[in-house]
Structure 1
Amino acid sequence: MVKSVSKFTPAERSWMIYDWANSSFSLIVVTAVLPLWLETVGQNISISTAQTTSWWSYANSFSTLIVAVCAPILGSLADFRGWKKPAWLVSTLLGFVTTLLLAAVPADGFWMLLFLFVLANIGFSIANIYYDSFITDVTTSERMPKVSSWGFALGYVGGVVPFVIFYALRGFMSSQQGVMFAFILAGLWWGVFSLPMLFKVRQKHFLPVPQHPIKQSFKRLVSTLKHLSQYPKIVGFLIAYFFYIDGVNTIITEASLFATSIGIDMTQLLTILLFVQLVAFPASIIFGQLSKIFGTRQMILTGIFIYSIISTMSIFITQAWGFWLMAFLIGSAQGGIQALSRSYFGQIIPKEYSGEFFGFYNIFGKFSAVLGPLVFGSVAAATGQVQLGAASLLFFFVLGGWIFVKYA
């Protein structure tokens, strides 16, 4: 792997390593540790599991909404010369510092944990807007699919490695010490491996700084919205992306519920989670390589097709082996479709407006996280079968794929 990564330029490598860096937050903090620790802390102050689940959902939704609303103007500001790197740095600092501070919260600090998580998640998400938009600065349009795919691939490994370290060492600590260690490890991992991005990546495409940057950013944003018809391919892609990435994200977020509904216990579920990450690492790279042969558009459609199969086969899954097969298919397409969507968008947008357009990209990705879970939950509740809830997501892939073929 080291030999393969060495083939990239220093700027490309440094950019990709940031995916390795911040994945510690998404896997350790958001997925594995903080939700369970919140449940324990909530019980310490007489907050029920159901209430904890609700507040956790509210915190996720609130931080997502804040980022989605602010994304276009924040991205627009970053397009000015010399603004993108400081904006990325501030949001990254906000993210990993508040992650570290989670370790200092006592075992009855339920509300402080939620508050720090909201700040950390906002920092994580905003930093990703700038990180994504930097792809136009670190590489050429021809190399974007490969670079983006390797970024996602390293991200999967960058999440697994600190998680395995945490999992191996937590047996030597008390439950609370293990949680504190997880937060410290995730924060330090994120901060330390962000350094290459800080020192090696530079903003190459930019606009001159006007006399009133904030006022000008709002004007430019309004102008872009008024003249979106000038960018039919970009608009078509964003609408298609809204639907198919909604299906992708919903399958990811609802997979645990699906697993428990067919009798998979927490230990096996954790193993499957690691399995998905390990499959996604080479699959992301393979998607990037195949895009050079078949084209980025065709490989995005391949990812949509694989997810359509996943949604369809979910109707028939009632045993663990079926879920393992589903997990393999998810891992095979998850990183590829996300990486190539990012690189394809980077190829079709004006490079000097990358921050602004990736702000829109972020909005469509964030707001797409609302409709899919709503449909999934409604169908599952109405039918009493989680399998049919998962199958209902086929609609998002068919519609997204059709719009992508016709308009993107």
Structure 2
Amino acid sequence: MPDMTKQEKSWVLYDVANSAFVLIIITTIMPIFFKDVASRGADSAVSTANWAFANSFASLVLALLAPVIGAVADYENLKKKFLVFFLGLGILATLALTTVSEGEWLRCLLIFVFARIGFAGANIFYDAFLVDITVKERMNRISTAGYAYGYIGSVIPFLMVIGLILLGTPPGASAGISVSAARAAFVIVALWWLLFSVPLLKNVRQKYYMPPAKHPVRDSFARLAGTFKEIRKYRQVFLFLMAYFLYIDGVDTIITMSAAYGRDIGLGVTALILAILMIQIVAFPFALLYGNLADRFSEKTMLFVGIAVYSFITLVSFFLPDLPTKEMKVIVFWILAFFVASSLGGIQALSRSFFGRLIPAERSAEFFGFYNIFGKFAAITGPFLMGVISHITGHSRYGVLSLLILFIAGGIILSKVGRENQ
């Protein structure tokens, strides 16, 4: 990161910090631990649905809070205080996962919900700091750098966790996740998250803010009401949010449910872990590439590329269970993992920077509260839809297929978003 300022580097490093939570808690070890250990003895489709419902509930709670806490945080020096609160909640809940034992699926989900609320809540204010630490002309590069270094940085704690799993596996036996290995993984995530959060907490300052108010909470509600009344003034912002709601719904669902879906179609723990490790490594250069191409072709064009890639992934995933051999399933799963990696960081980072260029800087926390509420409600509907359809049909492949509708609809609305306010 040679050409970045101290604040830009510190901001990017927080992506390194929280990416360990995404990779280990949301995407790989935790869902496998939940299905194989916490839900031992439960029906496979039921445990997958329970995991989906828990993710949906955590997103619902934060979605209801996001606009209000975002509006309050726009006052001077409050943005970082809110970030610290949710950061602490996420880290403490992650450590609390070490108390979960075999068969305690409900307790496991309750603690996980608090951990995910902490993670997502901190991200509201982390995203909102983007307008404080850089200028509009550099937002694409800095936003994609955050995701890129987050992916490659999270490989280190992930490899530590894999090492623990392999050490606990008897010679000749297939790799699995024991209670002790999972507990060690949760501790590693919490410590990594805390360590790489320090530069952000130390060096980043809130540059843009609302004037002080005697009644900040009451005034924040009034400001939110005014924003809705003036929705025509921010038409491009809310039109983009509608598109984002739809296509990021599909992306988040694929991220959240991929490991559980892989287990449903018979993929082993080793194949899942190695495929997701490959995603982290490949996503690093592709995220940076998306940032460079966005400066040349526009963020909107590259967002369409990402939507097209994920539509392809959805279609192929539907037919994955029909492959005749386990070996073929593993090969195709790896190919899909590569396509996920090629656009994962790009579509997320460019959505963030595109939105950042549309909104008023002094109200960034409020508007990123809306950004996150749309993202969180999207995270509710996708897993919930997949969970319901999995229950009805008895197979999660039909839930995967339903995601195609979200990508198509999101792309159509995105085509109507202009750049007049940038």
With normalisation by structure 1, the TM-score equals 0.90
Comparing 178-187 and 108-117, the one that deviates more: 108-117
Taking only aligned residues, the RMSD between alpha carbons, in angstroms, comes to 2.7
Q: Of the candidates 243, 247, 250, which is equivalent to residue 246 of structure 2?
A: 243
Identity, % of aligned positions:
42
Q: Is 2:258 aligned against 1:281? A: no
Number of residue pairs matched by the alignment: 403
Q: Per-residue deviation at 1:246?
A: 1.4
Residue 12 (structure 1) aligned with residue 15 (structure 2): no
Distance 1:308 1:219, change over 3 A: same
Q: Please tell me the residue identity of whatever aligns with 2:18.
A: N
Partner of 2:306: 303
Conserved in 1, the CA contact under 8 Å of 2:14 and 2:200? yes
User: What amino acid maps onto 2:279 in structure 1?
Assistant: V
Which residue is 2:172 aligned to? none
Runs of 5+ in structure 2 lacking a partner? 170-177
Q: CA deviation at 1:127?
A: 0.2
Is residue 2:344 matched to residue 1:341? no
Residue type of the alignment partner of 1:100: L
Question: Paired residue for 2:204?
Answer: 201
* Distance (whole Å) between structure 2 residues aligned to residue 255 and residue 51 of structure 1: 16
Out of 182, 186, 190, the position equivalent to 1:183 is 186
Q: Give the letter for the 1:86 counterpart.
A: K
Q: Is the 8 A contact 1:100 1:188 kept in 2?
A: no
Separation of aligned partners in 1, 2:202 and 2:408? 43
The answer to whether 1:406 aligns with 2:416 is yes
After superposing the two structures, state which structure 1 stretch, 332-341 or 164-173, moved more.
164-173
Change (3 A) 1:309 1:30: closer
Q: In the TM superposition, what are the counterparts of 1:40-79 in structure 2 within 5 Å?
A: 42=38, 56-79=51-74
Moved more, 323-332 or 352-361: 323-332
8 Å contact from structure 1 (residues 42, 49) kept in 2: no
Counterpart residue identity of residue 193, structure 1: F
| Alpha-carbon offset, residue 393 of structure 1 | 2.7
1:29 aligned partner: 25
Mean Cα deviation higher: 394-403 or 217-226: 394-403
- Picking from 152, 157, 165, the partner of 1:157 is 152
Match of 2:371 in 1: 361
Tell me: CA distance 1:393–1:296, structure 2 relative to 1, closer, same or farther (3 Å).
same
1: CA distance between counterparts of 2:313 and 2:164? 35
Cα deviation 1:146-189 (Å, max 9, x = unaligned): 10101111121232210111111344459333222111111000
Q: 2:338 aligns with which of 328, 341, 349?
A: 328
Residues 1:29 and 1:311: Cα distance change in structure 2 (over 3 Å):
closer
Match of 2:124 in 1: 129
CA distance in 1: counterparts of 2:102 and 2:266, whole angstroms: 31
Question: Which of residues 70, 83, 90 in structure 1 aligns to 2:85?
Answer: 90
In structure 2, give the amino acid aligned to 1:180: R
Tell me the distance in 2 between the aligned counterparts of 1:371 and 1:58: 10
Question: Does the C-alpha gap of structure 1 residues 42 and 247 become closer, same or farther in structure 2, counting only changes over 3 Å?
Answer: closer
Q: Render the CA deviation track for 1:365-404: whole Å, top value 9, x for unaligned.
A: 1111233345556667777776565444332222211211
Q: Which region of structure 1 is more displaced relative to structure 2, 301-310 or 82-91?
A: 301-310
Alignment of 1:224 onto 2:227: yes
Deviations 1:5-38 (A, max 9, x none): 1221110110011011011222222333334444
Structure 1: how far apart are the matches of 2:110 and 2:205? Answer: 33
- Select which of 95, 120, 129 maps to 2:115: 120
Q: Report the Cα distance in structure 1 between the residues aligned to 2:222 and 2:203, rounded to whole angstroms.
A: 32
CA contact (8 A) 2:45 2:396 kept: no
CA distance in structure 2 between the partners assigned to 1:109 and 1:323 by the alignment: 30
* CA distance in structure 1 between the aligned counterparts of 2:99 and 2:203, rounded to whole angstroms: 32
For residue 108 of structure 1, report the CA deviation from its aligned partner: 7.4
Q: Which moved more, 1:52-61 or 1:217-226?
A: 52-61
